[in-house]
């Protein structure tokens, strides 16, 4: 490994695995996180996450017991925080799939240290998102019959498949399922590593069952690698379709502010933008808690900052395009809705969105900010806030002043709205912390593959 340091290429392209680690070190470093007792920070984080998750269940219980009137949704704003939060959480998930699938197809080796945690984040974000469509029905135990075409005794009818809301049900449930499959397939070889290292009978049993008898034979790897490639190939159009279809919920309506063809690409870019922000927030924390600087290197973090800069610019461009088209359409309702967005009663939300989504990522033009962990942590939080405001602005400002001024209104969230949203963070964090505690948070076998290429390249190999 010593010759890595003098290789001039490494100046431009620093190694993805640092600190002179070998294969056994990689196994050791990642496995001990799961095998040892968690550090104090983990308990502190759990201490915050679990009460918040309990708050979520309390709010949902209250909602089911009382009715969805406990939310602030009312005429004219019939879609409030529920769908805002749904779209926001779904968007968060997109970075995980982008990292695991699209960057895999583009052979971006730097994805290997962060893909596992980002995929886990996807799953937990989709779980948080799914709460909203499930509970907005008011009777979640019957929701399956309303959402899916299941034969039953009491509806005597089928879903309306011409509605984008049905497309959304299929898109989100497929997305959640495929992400879970992809994630589990990636985990199998690493679970086998944990099984082989297990010392207690319980661990041996659990990791033994979960790893399905994986042996790492050449035959198994051959089918496995093709399966992984196929899943990446399937997930790539899938992830692009999910937020496109989410945007159809709005775009296929006739409401000014929603009825626009720019929505699918604009939503997908926004989803990737917010998703990467969330990955940076979580990875800088995980890296700090567990000391993973040699595996999640500054190069990984800097690349993610560049993705945020690029997608942030796309989102900013989309905001500008919306205003241009509103003016160019010469449609007075369309013009009104956009002027109302920027200068009406929700101007505070609109300008918060612009500050967080358009101005904040501009700092990433400078290497100083791209390579500073505190700076990217703070900026990533701003971006998460900004992307929440984006969804809120699109939903609330388009609804609150409709064609009849006598029915104009102003949306105010209730304490249940706020409690539920805060609670989803609790659920998300709890699940993520449990994941860090019990499953390998970095793809062990993939990191070793990258390390192998790095070592062969250093020895003048042909890679």
Partner 1 sequence: MLEALLSRLGLPGYEPEAARQKIYGVIGDFDTPEDLLRAIRTARAAGYTRMEAYSPFPIHGVDEALGAPRSPLGKIVIVFALIGLSAAVLLQWWTGAVDYRLIIAGKPLFAFEPSVPIMFELAVLLSAFATVLGMFHLNRIPTYYHAFFNYSKHAGASNDRFLLAIEAGDPKFRADEVKLFLESCGSRHTEIVEA
Whichever of 37 and 162 has its CB closer to partner 1, that residue is 162
Whichever of 236 and 430 has its CB closer to partner 1, that residue is 236
Q: Cα dist. 192→26, 162, 207, 441 in Å? A: 15, 46, 7, 14
Among 15, 16, 17, 27, binds partner 1 (CB under 8 A): 27
- Tokens 């499930």 found at: 134
Q: What are phi and psi of 8, to 5 degrees?
A: -65, -25
Among 78, 216, 291, 320, binds partner 1 (CB under 8 A): 216
For the bound state, the minimum distance from the C-beta of residue 279 to partner 1, rounded and expressed in Å, comes to: 23
Question: In which element (H, E) is residue 274 found?
Answer: helix 263-290
Whichever of 144 and 185 has its CB closer to partner 1, that residue is 185
230 binds partner 1 (CB under 8 A): yes
Among 138, 213, 291, 320, binds partner 1 (CB under 8 A): 213
Cα–Cα dist 62/151, whole Å: 30
Cα–Cα dist 56/303, whole Å: 34
Tokens for 133, please give them. Answer: 């469509």
Q: What are phi and psi of 74, to 5 degrees?
A: -165, 165
Among 5, 7, 13, 22, binds partner 1 (CB under 8 A): 22
41 binds partner 1 (CB under 8 A): no
Whichever of 90 and 308 has its CB closer to partner 1, that residue is 90
CA dihedral of 351, 356, 359, 362, whole degrees rounded to 10: -170
For the bound state, the minimum distance from the C-beta of residue 281 to partner 1, rounded and expressed in Å, comes to: 29
| Binding pattern for the stretch 307-326 against partner 1, x by CB under 8 A and - elsewhere | --------------------
Cα–Cα dist 49/367, whole Å: 33
Report how many residues bind partner 1 under the rule CB under 8 A.
Answer: 62
Tokens for 223, please give them. Answer: 């089918």
What single-letter DSSP state applies at residue 364?
A: G
Task: Tell me whether residue 24 is exposed, middle or buried, using C-beta atoms within 10 angstroms of its C-beta: 0 to 12, 13 to 18, 19 or more.
Answer: exposed
CB of 117 closer than 8 Å to CB of 442: yes
Whichever of 134 and 181 has its CB closer to partner 1, that residue is 181
Whichever of 252 and 331 has its CB closer to partner 1, that residue is 252
CB of 334 closer than 8 Å to CB of 256: yes
CB of 93 closer than 8 Å to CB of 129: yes
Please list, in sequence order, all residues whose beta carbon lies within 8 angstroms of the beta carbon of residue 24, skipping any fewer than 6 positions away: none
Give me the sign of the Cα torsion angle 365, 368, 371, 372: negative
Among 88, 89, 124, 224, binds partner 1 (CB under 8 A): 224
For the bound state, the minimum distance from the C-beta of residue 226 to partner 1, rounded and expressed in Å, comes to: 4
Tokens for 455, please give them. Answer: 């070592």
Cα–Cα dist 290/214, whole Å: 28
For the bound state, the minimum distance from the C-beta of residue 179 to partner 1, rounded and expressed in Å, comes to: 9
Among 51, 61, 149, 320, binds partner 1 (CB under 8 A): 149
Among 6, 65, 157, 404, binds partner 1 (CB under 8 A): 157
Among 137, 220, 321, 371, binds partner 1 (CB under 8 A): 220
| Binding pattern for the stretch 239-268 against partner 1, x by CB under 8 A and - elsewhere | --x---x--x--------------------
Among 75, 160, 200, 406, binds partner 1 (CB under 8 A): 160
Q: What are phi and psi of 283, to 5 degrees?
A: -70, -35
Q: Taking contact as CB under 8 A, which single stretch among the options 50-58, 216-224, 318-326, 334-342 is the one that binds partner 1?
A: 216-224
For the bound state, the minimum distance from the C-beta of residue 215 to partner 1, rounded and expressed in Å, comes to: 5
Task: Tell me whether residue 192 is exposed, middle or buried, using C-beta atoms within 10 angstroms of its C-beta: 0 to 12, 13 to 18, 19 or more.
Answer: buried
226 binds partner 1 (CB under 8 A): yes
359 binds partner 1 (CB under 8 A): no
Inter-axis angle of helices 23-35 and 164-197, to 10 degrees? 110
> For residues 43-102, which are near partner 1 according to CB under 8 A?
none
For the bound state, the minimum distance from the C-beta of residue 120 to partner 1, rounded and expressed in Å, comes to: 18
Please list, in sequence order, all residues whose beta carbon lies within 8 angstroms of the beta carbon of residue 263, skipping any fewer than 6 positions away: 247, 248, 250, 251
Q: Taking contact as CB under 8 A, which single stretch among the options 53-61, 237-245, 305-313, 414-422 is the one that binds partner 1?
A: 237-245
448 binds partner 1 (CB under 8 A): yes
238 binds partner 1 (CB under 8 A): yes
Cα–Cα dist 29/14, whole Å: 20
Whichever of 137 and 241 has its CB closer to partner 1, that residue is 241
> For residues 171-210, which are near partner 1 according to CB under 8 A?
171, 174, 177-178, 181-182, 184-185, 188-189, 192-193, 195-197
3 binds partner 1 (CB under 8 A): no
Q: Which residues bind partner 1 (CB under 8 A)?
A: 22-24, 27, 149, 157-164, 166-167, 170-171, 174, 177-178, 181-182, 184-185, 188-189, 192-193, 195-197, 212-227, 230-231, 234, 237-238, 241, 245, 248, 444-446, 448-449, 452, 456
């Amino acid at each position: 490994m010593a010759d890595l340091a003098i290789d001039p290429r490494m100046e431009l392209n620093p190694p993805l695995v640092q600190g002179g680690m070998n294969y056994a070190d990689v196994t050791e470093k990642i496995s001990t996180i799961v095998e040892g007792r968690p550090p104090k920070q983990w308990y502190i984080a759990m201490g915050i996450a679990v009460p918040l998750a309990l708050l979520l269940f309390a709010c949902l219980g209250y909602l089911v017991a009382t009715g969805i009137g406990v939310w602030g949704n009312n005429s004219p704003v019939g879609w409030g925080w529920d769908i805002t939060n749904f779209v926001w959480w779904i968007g968060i998930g997109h970075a995980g799939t982008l990292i695991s699938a699209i960057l895999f197809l583009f052979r971006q080796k730097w994805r290997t240290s962060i893909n596992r945690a980002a995929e886990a984040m996807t799953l937990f974000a989709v779980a948080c998102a799914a709460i909203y469509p499930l509970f907005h029905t008011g009777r979640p135990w019957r929701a399956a019959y309303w959402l899916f075409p299941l034969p039953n005794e009491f509806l005597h009818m089928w879903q309306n498949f011409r509605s984008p809301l049905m497309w959304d049900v299929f898109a989100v449930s497929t997305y959640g399922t495929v992400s879970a499959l992809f994630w589990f397939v990636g985990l199998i070889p690493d679970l086998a590593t944990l099984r082989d290292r297990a010392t207690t009978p319980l661990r041996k049993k659990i990791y033994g069952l979960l790893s399905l008898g994986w042996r790492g034979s050449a035959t198994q790897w051959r089918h496995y690698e093709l399966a992984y490639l196929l899943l990446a190939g399937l997930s790539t159009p899938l992830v692009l379709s999910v937020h496109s279809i989410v945007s159809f919920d709005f775009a296929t309506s006739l409401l000014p502010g929603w009825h626009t063809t720019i929505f699918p690409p604009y939503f997908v870019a926004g989803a990737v933008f917010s998703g990467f922000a969330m990955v940076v927030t979580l990875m800088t924390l995980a890296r700090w808690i567990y000391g993973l600087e040699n595996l999640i290197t500054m190069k990984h973090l800097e690349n993610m900052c560049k993705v945020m800069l690029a997608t942030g610019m796309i989102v900013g461009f989309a905001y500008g395009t919306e205003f241009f088209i509103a003016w160019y359409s010469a449609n007075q309702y369309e013009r009104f809705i956009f002027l109302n967005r920027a200068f009406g009663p929700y101007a505070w939300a609109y300008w918060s969105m612009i500050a967080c989504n358009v101005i904040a990522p501009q700092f990433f033009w400078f290497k100083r900010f791209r390579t500073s962990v505190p700076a990217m942590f703070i900026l990533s939080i701003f971006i998460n806030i900004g992307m929440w405001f984006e969804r809120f602005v699109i939903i609330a400002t388009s609804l609150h002043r409709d064609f009849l001024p006598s029915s104009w209104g102003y949306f105010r969230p209730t304490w249940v709205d706020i409690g539920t949203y805060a609670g989803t963070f609790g659920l998300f964090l709890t699940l993520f912390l449990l994941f860090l505690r019990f499953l390998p948070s970095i793809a062990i076998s993939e990191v070793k593959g990258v390390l192998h290429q790095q070592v062969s390249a250093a020895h003048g190999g042909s890679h």
